Amino acid sequence: MDLGEGLRQAIAKLSRATIIDAKTVKEFTKELQKSLLSADVEVSLVFQISKEIEAESLKSRPPSGITSKDYITDIVYKKLVGLMGSTYTPEMKSKRVLLMGLYGSGKTTTAVKIAKYYQDRGMSAAVICCDVTRPAAYEQLETLAAQANITFFGIKGEKDPVKVLKASRQPLKGKNVVICDTSGRNALDDNLIAELKAVAREFGADEKILVVGADTGQTPGSQAREFDSAVKISGGVGTGMDGSVKGGGAISAANAAKAHVMFIGTGEKIGNIEPFDSEKFIGSLLGIPDMSSLLDKVSKAVAEAKIKPEDMQTEELNFETFYTQLKAMGHMGPLKNVFGMMGASDVPKEMLDQGEDRLNKFKVIISSMTQSERKDERLLHNPDRIKRIAVGSGTSEHDVHMLISQFNKMKKMFNTFKNDRGFRKRFAKFGA
Ligand code: GDP
Ligand code: MG
């Protein structure tokens, strides 16, 4: 089961519940906990979040006209946005940005990425190497900066970052955005604390950003707390967000430092950086991707396939309507989670993977059926008929059986929809 699936099912369950009682909410928060934990959100924070969501969900009834599902999803969403901050929009104005973080968190790469981000938008940008610890830190930043056409400043071999900063004033005069890369450690120690304090004082940062790798495991919270108490943090950047569905580290860090996530790194290339979009991030964390654009696409797919809401609740699905339905399912292939989001359980994968070839085959098979067979599937519980249809359509008996098995699966799915009034209502909106 993927990360979002359990949660989607829990949300589906919620939408079927007529009242929100303690038991329903408990079940839901349990799924939410699992989801957050597997995304590497810190254990203590997971419990804090779920306790607050539980309390809030039970505190008052959903306002009339709002489903339990929408009500609770909204509470969860607001809670997580509260922790991570809303979508970040970088201001195009002069600023000095100090980057901090442990070894390998992605500071040096991020320094150049951010500089390039601003430079591409018309600001002049420069990076300064104040990592005086790691051998070759100077060369790494110099090379990356040259690749991105960003001005670089550093003093090779200099062990005092304050001297580097003092010397950088004159040559970098007039630069709009100046970014300072600093030393890392395996863990924050007194030595680095003293160094960062001195750097922050001399540099005069407008933004002090902690860079946290997505694969940091369960420690980003304590990391962020330590950095924050040493040098007050004003924001976070999560790197390596391309590699996994994890990213809970960014939530934990942001929460611990009471700071917001500003950018995320989505790959090793210099262009792989995005301002943090909380809606998108939390959506994918919860397994509910961009809802509004998805729903748009569904409306389109449904319209194209000419499915009517009546068809979705048809008393008897028969082979005549089956083909249209199947074709519609094919259109929804990339949107396979949509039923889950709308509160029904997920549609079986095979139903959505309708290749053009298979659809065509099904079409000829259906055209080889008699009128009465098309209307009544039970007539096909007869090997002779199956054989006749296979020969008549130039397919195999196996193909005919496959069609029948898909037909039965769809019938079962439709029965579920039929019995779920809430789903039907939501679906009807698309068919309109
Ligand atoms: P520093 O020690 O904190 O300065 O970290 P570096 O900037 O040297 O980065 C460490 C490694 O992580 C390098 O191999 C980078 O290419 C890689 N890295 C940095 N940011 C990202 C990212 O957003 N995605 C991926 N996949 N790799 C990244
Ligand atoms: Mg570095």
> Do residues 23 and 54 touch, judged by C-beta distance below 8 A?
no
More confident residue, 384 or 347: 384
Mean pLDDT, the chain, rounded, equals 80
- Report pLDDT for 334: 44
pLDDT at 385 over 80: yes
Question: If pLDDT is split at 50, 70 and 90, which confidence band does 307 have?
Answer: low
Ligand 1 pocket test: pick from 98, 109, 192, 281 the residue with the most ligand atoms within 8 Å of its Cβ. 109
Q: How far is the CA of 282 from the centre of ligand 2 (A)?
A: 29
The closest ligand to the CA of 264 turns out to be 1
Instruction: Look at ligand 1, atom 20, and give the residue with the nearest C-alpha.
Output: 106
Give the C-alpha separation, 346 to 24, whole Å: 20
Least confident of 12-16, 180-184, 265-269, 339-343: 339-343
Least confident of 88-92, 253-257, 335-339: 335-339
- Report pLDDT for 413: 72
Ligand 1 pocket test: pick from 113, 180, 239 the residue with the most ligand atoms within 8 Å of its Cβ. 239
More confident residue, 226 or 252: 226
- Report pLDDT for 291: 46
Ligand 1 pocket test: pick from 134, 268, 274 the residue with the most ligand atoms within 8 Å of its Cβ. 268
Q: Nearest CA to 240 among 216, 207, 208, 223?
A: 216
Kindly state if the Cβ of 133 falls inside 6 Å of ligand 1.
no
Question: If pLDDT is split at 50, 70 and 90, which confidence band does 295 have?
Answer: very low
DSSP characters for 385-422? HHHHHHHHHT--HHHHHHHHHHHHHHHHHHHHHHH-HH
Instruction: Look at ligand 1, atom 6, and give the residue with the nearest C-alpha.
Output: 106
Instruction: Look at ligand 1, atom 27, and give the residue with the nearest C-alpha.
Output: 268
Question: If pLDDT is split at 50, 70 and 90, which confidence band does 336 have?
Answer: very low
| Tens of pLDDT, residues 346-367 | 556 566 566 667 778 888 999 8
E strand residue ranges, 255-390? 260-265, 273-275
More confident residue, 33 or 197: 197
Please state whether 192 falls in left (phi above 0), alpha (psi between -120 and 50) or beta.
alpha
Question: If pLDDT is split at 50, 70 and 90, which confidence band does 329 have?
Answer: low
Q: How far is the CA of 104 from the centre of ligand 1 (A)?
A: 6
The closest-lying atom of ligand 1 relative to the alpha carbon of residue 101 is 3
> Do residues 124 and 177 touch, judged by C-beta distance below 8 A?
yes
Kindly state if the Cβ of 109 falls inside 6 Å of ligand 1.
yes
pLDDT at 76 over 70: yes
Q: How far is the CA of 132 from the centre of ligand 2 (A)?
A: 10
User: Which residue do the tokens 């929804």 mark?
Assistant: 332
Instruction: Look at ligand 1, atom 13, and give the residue with the nearest C-alpha.
Output: 106
Least confident of 67-71, 91-95, 147-151, 157-161: 67-71
Q: Which pTM value belongs to this model?
A: 0.67
